[in-house]
Amino acid sequence: MKRSFTPEIRNRKKEELTPIALSLFLERGVDDVKMTDIANSASIGVATLYRYFSVKKSIVIASGILLWKKLYQDFLSLEKECENKDGYTSLKIMMNQFLLTYEKKPSFFIFLRQFDSFCIQEKILPEELNEYDDCVLLVKNIYDRTIQKGIEDHSIQPLRDKDTLYFTMTKAFIGLAQKLISEENQFESDSKRDKKTQLKLLLEIFLTYYRK
């Protein structure tokens, strides 16, 4: 077997190509980026790209995994910064990270919407998204630890179903963020409602529920 196809080199090459693809997807959109575009940006032939990612969906999924890993690292850093804070304060800081992501990296929310549409369009099976789902849950693991810390220090009330609450919160925030990013001020009333304020209010509603 040629050295270029050894598992170690193959994996390393895929790790090099995925950030290039992700950058293009964030900039131009999942549907508008072709495999030839990724190959050109990586300064390789498209046939070479297909050796590492046999179909476009493979590199789209890999890009989604990388995106969530980046978000996880942001939350992991926050968790370390909050070691000496109570659970509720830590949760508030972490929730604010979603708001900062909206302000500084709105393409994150656009990609998530396009990713979901792409998966439906390509009829991607749930088992093909297992690694992606695992990365999404990495952020939830930090949430779980923060909630438990808050329950133990009595800054967060005991929750009957923290999992449902987490997914309700994140889906509500992501959905609203996606709508606010894409919507135009179609009505006069739209221009009178500050987008960031709407997202802050949503987070405050959830925080009120958590606080003991």
Q: Which two tokens stand for residue 112?
A: 């998530």
What predicted TM-score, i.e. pTM, was given to this entire model?
0.89
Which residue do the tokens 């972490």 mark? Answer: 94
For residue range 154-210, list pLDDT tens digits in order: 999 998 899 999 999 999 999 999 999 987 645 555 555 689 999 999 999 999 999
pLDDT at 100 over 60: yes
Calculate helix-pair angle for 162-182, 87-104, nearest 10 degrees: 20
Return residue ranges of the chain for CATH 1.10.357: 61-210
> Residue 183's pLDDT is what?
74
Place of tokens 């997914």: 167
CA distances in angstroms from 28 to 59, 65, 67, 111, 124, listed in the order given: 15, 18, 16, 10, 22
Assigned CATH for 1-54 = 1.10.10.60
CA distance 184 to 33: 25
Q: What is the distance between the alpha carbons of residues 7 and 15, in angstroms, rounded to a whole number?
A: 12
CATH class belonging to 61-210: mainly alpha
Select from 172, 63, 181, 66 the least CA-distant residue to 119: 63
Instruction: Give the confidence band of 5 by pLDDT, cuts at 50, 70, 90.
Output: low
Residue 184: per-residue pLDDT: 60
Q: Are 150 and 87 in contact (CB under 8 A)?
A: yes
Task: State how far the Cα of 109 lies from the Cα of 91, in Å rounded to an integer.
Answer: 21
- In angstroms, what CA-CA distances link 157 with 151, 152, 209? 6, 9, 8
| 60, 37 Cβ separation under 8 angstroms | no
From CA 174, how far away is CA 199, in angstroms rounded? 10
CA distance 69 to 78: 14
Neighbours of 201 (CB within 10 A): 11
The residue assigned the tokens 């890999």 is 62
pLDDT tens digits for range 33-74: 999 999 999 999 999 999 999 999 999 999 999 999 999 999
